[in-house]
Amino acid sequence: MTPLNATRPAQATTFHKRPGSLSMSRRAETVTAWALVLPALIGFLVFYAWPTLRAIQISLTDWNLLRAPKFVGLDNYARMLDDGKFWNGMKLSAYYVLLNIPLQTVLGLFLAVAMDRLTRSLFVKSIVLLPYLLSNVLVAMIWLWMLDPFLGLINHYIVMAGFERMPFFGGLDSSLLTVAGVNIWRHMGLVAMLFLAGLQNIPRHLYEAAALEGATEWQMFRRVTLPLLRPVMVFVLVTSVTGSFQIFDTIAVTTNGGPLDSTRVIVHYIVQNAFAFYKMGYASAMSMTLCAVMVAYTVVQMRVMRANENDLA
Amino acid sequence: MSTPPTTTVPGVHRQRAFSAGRLLAWVVLLAMIAITLMPLWMVVKTGLMHPKDVYTSSTALFPPDPTWLNFKKVLGLISTEEALSLGGSGAQINFLRALGNSLLFTGIIVTLQTTSAAMASYAFARLRFPGRSTLFGLFVASMMVPGVVTFIPNFILIKDLGWLNTMAGMVAPFCLMQGFSVFFLRQFFLSVPRDLEEAALLDGASHLYIFWRVVLPLSITPLATIATLTGINMWNEFFWPYLVAKEELQQVLPVALQSFKSQTPQGQPDWTGLMAATAITVLPTVLLLMAFGRRVVESVQFSGGK
C-alpha cells in the first residue's frame, strides 16, 4: 500500500468492510503519519540533529576550513579553560544578563499591570509592542544616533542638566550597560504584552474578594497577581535569560566587541573565532560549552519554579 | 467554586477611578509611550534634515528646513555626483532590492514552515504510529539547542552545497522545521473536538482527506498566529543571512542596513542618510501594525504559552 491510497476516500471505505481491515487501516494510518511528518523530519535531521552531532565532532578537531580537519581530542576544551578571553566572554554575557533581565522584567510587569488597569486600547498596545517588531539592527541604528556623544539628543539633555557627556557605546565602563539599555527598550513591550495576557487570565473575583477583605493594592499584587503569574514568569525568564545570554546582533552593529573587548560577549567571541580566525574546532568547543550551560540553566529554572503546574487549574 | 456576578467587578476599579495611584499609572504609561516614540521621531526628523544642518540642529525637535533629499539619495533617485556634493559618503542602500529579498526570504519560510509544521503536528496530535512520542520529544528538545551550536555545521553544509549568497542557502535551515510551531499547532489540534473527524472517518474519508478538508479549514486562526510569529522573527533575522549572504544583491534589509552603516566613514557617519534609510526600513513594520495590529498583538501574546 502506498500513501496515495490514503487520499482516496472511496477505497478507504472498503478497508472497513473487509475482514482484517483494522490492521490494514492501521498500516494506512502509519504510512499517512510518516508522510505528514516527513518534511519536518528532514528539516530536523539535516538542520538540527546532524549539525549538533557534527558540532561535537568538529569541536574535537583542529580545522581552518582549508586543510582537512585534524583530530585533537579534548585539546580545544582544555585550551578553552586556559583562555582568558573565553572566560571574559562568559563573564560579560552573564553580567549582561544581570544588567538586562531584572530591569526589563520589572518594567514589563509594571507596564502590564498599568495597561491592565487603565486601557484595552489596541493603539496603546501596538505602540508598546512596536520596538520589539523592529530588527536588532534597526534598533541599534536608532540608538547609535540618539546616544551619539556629540550630536545625540540624550547627551544634549545630559549636558543641559549640568552633567558631563557620556560616551555610551564608546566607553569602557558604559558600553555593555548601553547595549543592555537599548535591548531593554526593545524588549520591555514584549515582556509587558506576555504578562498582560497572563494578567487577563486571572479571574477578577479574586481581586473582588481581596478588596472586600480590605487588602491594599500592593497586597493584591503581592498575594494574588504575582503567584498566579508564575507560569508566564517562567516562560519569560527562561526565554529572555537564554536569549540575552546569547546577545550578538546589537553588539555586531554597534561596538563590534570593543572598545578593548569590553563588549566581547561569548557569542561574539565564538563568531570571531569561527569567521575571523577560522578556528572552527575551537569555536565549536565553546559553542558546546555554552549550550550545556543554557540547557542546565533551563532545567534548573523550570524545576525551581515548578513550570508544569498551574495554580488556577 | 462560586463565582460572584461579574457585573460587580468593574466597581472594584471604579472606586479607585480618580485615585493618586491611577494618575501615577497613567503618567508612567504615557512616559513609556513617549520613550518609545521619541527616538523614532528623531530618526524621521534627522532623515528630513539637510546634511549641512546636522551639526547645528542635531538636537532640534523639528527639522529646520525639511527636505526629501536624503530619502531620494538613499533610494538612488539622485545622481552620485549630486549625492557626493551633499557631503555624505555617497553610499546608497539598494533599498528596493533588499526589500524584495526580505519579502521573498520571509514569504518562503512562512509558507513552507507553516505547512510543514501543520502536517507534522496533525500527525502527532491525531494519528497513531510507532515512534510518535520519541519523535515529538526530539522535536521539542530541538527548541533547546541554541543557534550558536548549529551555525558552524550549517554554514559548512551551505558552503559545501555551493549555496552561499543564494536565497536557498538563506532559507534552508528555517523552512522545514521549527520546534515551537509544531508544539504550538499540536496543542491546538489536541483541543479540537474529535466528533467531526470521527464522523468523516465513518464515512470512509482518509486521514489525509480529513486533515486537508476538515481540520485545516477549522485552523485558520492558529495557523495565522504561527505564520505571524514566524514572519516577524524572519523579517528581523540578522545573524544567519549576515553569515551566508553578504553580497549586495542578496542582502535582506537588516544586512543591507548594517552594510550601509559600515560603508560610512568611521569618524563622520552620514547621519542624515543613515537615518533616512532607517526610517524607510521602519516603515513596513508600522504599516503592518496599522493593517493587522490586533492579529500581531494577539499572536505575540499567544507565544507566551497562554
pTM (predicted TM-score): 0.86
Query: Chain A contact for B172, CB < 8 A?
Result: yes
A290 contacts B150? CB cut-off 8 A: no
Least confidently predicted of A114-118, B33-37, B160-164: A114-118
A141 contacts B146? CB cut-off 8 A: no
A253 contacts B258? CB cut-off 8 A: yes
B134 within a domain of the structure (yes/no): yes
Q: Is B279 exposed, middle or buried (0-12, 13-18, 19+ CB in 10 A)?
A: buried
Secondary structure letter of residue A211 according to DSSP: H
8 Å CB contact between B131 and B120 = no
B285 contacts A134? CB cut-off 8 A: yes
Residue B305, pLDDT > 70, answer: no
8 Å CB contact between B169 and A71 = no
Query: Within the 270-309 window of chain A, which residues sit less than 8 Å (CB to CB) from chain B?
Result: 270, 274-275, 280, 283-284, 287-288, 290-291, 294-295, 298
Mean pLDDT for chain A overall: 87
B70 within a domain of the structure (yes/no): no
Contacts of B175 in chain A (CB under 8 A): 43
Q: Grid coordinates in use for B300? A: 505575540
What is the pLDDT at residue B91? 65
Which ipTM was obtained for this model? 0.85
| Distance between A89 CA and the closest CA of chain B, angstroms | 14
A125 contacts B43? CB cut-off 8 A: no
Residue A292, pLDDT > 70, answer: yes
Integer Cα distance of A126 and A189 in angstroms: 9
Query: Within the 71-90 window of chain B, which residues sit less than 8 Å (CB to CB) from chain A?
Result: none
What is the pLDDT at residue B266? 59
Residue A304 confidence class, pLDDT cut points 50, 70, 90:
confident
Residue B63 confidence class, pLDDT cut points 50, 70, 90:
confident
B72 within a domain of the structure (yes/no): no
Residue A61 dihedral angles phi and psi, to the nearest 5°: -125, 165
B204 contacts A111? CB cut-off 8 A: no
Cα angle, residue A293 at apex, residues A292 and A294 outer, rounded to 5°? 90
Rg (CA), chain B: 25
HSE at residue B260, side-chain half, CA atoms within 13 A, is 32
Handedness of CA B106, B261, A242, A268 (dihedral sign): positive
B260 within a domain of the structure (yes/no): yes
The pLDDT tens digits for A162-207 are 998 888 998 889 999 999 999 999 999 999 999 999 998 888 888 8
Which structural domain range is residue B149 located in?
95-302
8 Å CB contact between A232 and A307 = no
A55 contacts B150? CB cut-off 8 A: yes
Q: Grid coordinates in use for A105? A: 522584567
Integer Cα distance of A46 and B238 in angstroms: 21
The pLDDT tens digits for A31-42 are 999 999 999 999
Integer Cα distance of A245 and A289 in angstroms: 13
8 Å CB contact between A140 and B255 = no
Query: Chain B contact for A197, CB < 8 A?
Result: yes
The chain B residue lying nearest A107, using CA atoms, is B32
Higher per-residue confidence, B296 vs B262: B296
Query: Chain A contact for B240, CB < 8 A?
Result: no
| Distance between B80 CA and the closest CA of chain A, angstroms | 24
Residue B194 dihedral angles phi and psi, to the nearest 5°: -80, -10
Contacts of B207 in chain A (CB under 8 A): 6, 28-29, 32-33
Number of domains forming the structure of chain B: 1
The pLDDT tens digits for B150-175 are 999 999 999 999 999 999 999 999 99
8 Å CB contact between A311 and A234 = no
B53 within a domain of the structure (yes/no): no
Residue position matching grid coordinates 554597534: A254
Q: Give the helix ranges, DSSP H, for B90-146.
A: 95-126, 132-142
B211 within a domain of the structure (yes/no): yes
- Could you check whether the bond before residue A259 is cis, i.e. omega within 30 degrees of 0? yes
B62 within a domain of the structure (yes/no): no
Higher per-residue confidence, B2 vs A45: A45
A51 contacts B157? CB cut-off 8 A: yes
Cβ density class B166-201: b for 16+ within 10 Å, e for less? bbebbbbbbbbbbbbbbbbbbebbeebeeeebeebb
Query: Which CATH number do you get for residue B261?
Result: 1.10.3720.10
B114 within a domain of the structure (yes/no): yes
Integer Cα distance of B110 and B118 in angstroms: 12
Query: Chain A contact for B280, CB < 8 A?
Result: no
B123 contacts A39? CB cut-off 8 A: no
Contacts of B205 in chain A (CB under 8 A): 9, 12
Q: Which of B116, B147, B152 lies closest to A284 in CB terms?
A: B152
Residue A117, pLDDT > 90, answer: no
A131 contacts B42? CB cut-off 8 A: no
Secondary structure letter of residue B65 according to DSSP: S
Contacts of A170 in chain B (CB under 8 A): none
Secondary structure letter of residue B52 according to DSSP: G
The Cα-based distances of B287 to A126, A133, B74 in angstroms read 11, 12, 20
Residue A310 confidence class, pLDDT cut points 50, 70, 90:
low
User: What are the structural domains of chain A?
Assistant: 77-304 (1.10.3720.10)
The chain A residue lying nearest B159, using CA atoms, is A65
The pLDDT tens digits for B236-261 are 999 999 999 988 899 999 999 888 88
Which of B46, B56, B149, B154 is the best mutation test for A, with the most CBs of A within 10 A? B149
| Distance between B52 CA and the closest CA of chain A, angstroms | 13
Q: Grid coordinates in use for B71? A: 530619502
What is the pLDDT at residue B70? 86
